């Protein structure tokens, strides 16, 4: 996948200007997109991410990363980034024809910002970048839909809430059961579903939540933390789920997707590292290992405010005890006080140097991005290879958004 000889020098010449202003370009793109196609705000785009600017940052980072790779390393395109975006698209039922809508508005935003530099040839060159990226995403998404035996318009189905479990003061687990006879494939450990929630203004808002327990397709479990807005409004969908959805209610859920999936076939030790609500995909992976009667060595490292804030702690400890060789360590910012039978408890923020880690292990990270960056750096300093570290990001993937 390479740029044409005509487009490559044009992208090389304009990439610095686009890279410098890509955040502004992304903002203008979304503003125009929603003005031209307001229907996309009903069920497709997360307006909470739009309000916070994180979706704009993620788009900017992904476009800049892809264009930079086409120019500087065409044989090493950002496959991890593309796969993550494709899974997110599939979880929303994105259709191939919607790429044309995005193209028209994104190229307008780029050429509008370039101003005097803009020519028909430059617009065409950036259009080529876009379609190369779209082609790569479309190829991955076709495989994802085929693997789940669905089409974009059939990823949704209704599930009935069987249980609503209060985990902590601001975390709730929902256990849902299928209410029709359509075949449902089990989720893979680490994947997420999208909830399409009706909101008071009559539209629907999508949110992704990790599946926090292994399933067989008949029942599914996901865990939701109430989003507190600080100076901004509280989370729209998490508040509705906490306050208005009860046992017996129906929810529209997508089939599961997600690029970060447990690989327990290689026979390597597993190390799960999480902070706060980042425990949810780790809980799902632990549950899978128990269900599979795994004999692999497992280590869980978790950081939280206190033991009372440790969501899913009962399920997690039960699963740890159900494994042949497993240990769990916790770091509590409010002090190492608690009643849980853990292998070790520490005060303050997580420091992986305080515990022994197995050789040749596979690592899975989930939590706030600054936390994951710190842990990733600490692990690589200890000699862990980057390819042995996978991470899950809640919301837009800002790990790749450092485009300045």
Catalytic site positions:
99, 141
289 Cβ contact partners less than 8 Å away, ≥ 6 residues apart:
189, 262, 264, 270, 296, 298, 319, 323
How many CB atoms are located within 10 Å of the residue 245 CB?
18
Residue position matching structure tokens 């991955």: 140
Spatial separation of the C-alpha atoms in residues 224 and 169, rounded to whole Å: 11
Count of CB atoms within 10 A of residue 376's CB? Answer: 18
C-alpha to C-alpha distances, 306 to 276, 309, 340, 347, 391, nearest whole angstrom: 10, 5, 11, 9, 23
- HEC readout, the chain: CCCCCCHHHHHHHHHHHHHHCHHHHHHHHHHHHHHHCHHHHCCCCCHHHHHHCHHHHHHHHHHHHHHHHHHHCCCCCCHHHHHHHHHHHHHHCCCCCHHHHHHHHHHHHHHHHHHHHCCHHHHHHHHHHHHHHHHHHHHHHHHHHHHCCCCHHHCEEEEEEEEEEEEECCEEEEEEEECCCCCCCCCCCCCEEEEEEECCCCCEEEEEEEECCCCCCCEEEEEEECCCCCCCCCCHHHHHHHHHCCCCCEEEEECCECCCCCCCCCCCCEEEEEEHHHHHHHHHHHHHHHHCCCCCCEEEEEEECCHHHCCCHHHHHHHHHCCCCEEEEEEECCCCCCCCCCCEEEECCCCHHHCCCCCCCEEEEECCHHHHHHHHHHHHHCCCCHHHEEEECCCCCHHHCCCC
């Amino acid at each position: 996948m390479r740029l044409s000889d005509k487009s490559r020098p044009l992208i090389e010449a304009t990439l610095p200007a686009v890279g410098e202003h890509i955040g502004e370009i992304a903002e203008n793109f979304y503003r125009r997109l929603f003005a031209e196609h307001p229907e996309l705000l009903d069920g497709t785009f997360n307006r909470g991410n739009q309000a916070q600017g994180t979706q704009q940052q993620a788009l900017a980072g992904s476009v800049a990363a892809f264009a930079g790779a086409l120019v500087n390393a065409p044989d090493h395109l950002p496959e991890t980034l593309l796969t993550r975006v494709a899974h997110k698209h599939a979880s929303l039922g994105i259709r191939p024809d919607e790429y044309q809508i995005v193209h028209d508005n994104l190229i307008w935003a780029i050429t509008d910002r370039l101003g005097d530099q803009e020519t028909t040839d430059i617009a065409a060159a950036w259009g080529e970048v876009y379609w190369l990226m779209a082609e790569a995403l479309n190829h991955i998404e076709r495989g994802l839909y085929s693997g789940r035996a669905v089409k974009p318009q059939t990823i949704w189905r209704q599930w009935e809430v069987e249980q609503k479990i209060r985990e902590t003061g601001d975390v709730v687990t929902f256990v849902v059961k299928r209410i029709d006879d359509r075949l449902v494939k089990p989720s893979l450990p680490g994947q997420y579903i999208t909830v399409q929630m009706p909101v008071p203004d009559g539209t629907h808002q999508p949110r992704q939540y990790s599946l926090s327990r292994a399933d067989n397709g008949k029942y599914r479990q996901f865990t939701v933390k109430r989003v507190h807005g600080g100076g901004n409004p509280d989370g729209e969908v998490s508040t509705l789920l906490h306050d208005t959805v009860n046992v017996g209610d129906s929810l529209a859920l997508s089939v599961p997707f997600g690029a970060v999936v447990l690989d327990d076939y290689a026979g390597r030790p597993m190390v799960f590292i999480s902070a706060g609500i980042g425990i949810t995909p780790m809980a799902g992976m632990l549950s899978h290992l128990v269900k599979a009667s795994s004999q692999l060595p497992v280590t869980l490292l978790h950081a939280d405010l206190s033991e009372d804030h440790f969501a899913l702690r009962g399920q997690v400890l039960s699963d740890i005890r159900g494994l042949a060789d497993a240990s769990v360590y916790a770091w509590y910012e409010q002090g190492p006080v608690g009643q849980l039978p853990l292998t070790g408890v520490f005060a303050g923020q997580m420091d992986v140097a305080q515990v022994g880690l197995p050789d040749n292990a596979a690592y899975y990270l989930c939590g706030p991005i600054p936390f994951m960056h710190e842990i990733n750096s600490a692990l690589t300093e200890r000699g862990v290879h980057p390819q042995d570290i996978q991470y899950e990001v809640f919301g837009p993937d800002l790990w790749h958004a450092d485009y300045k």
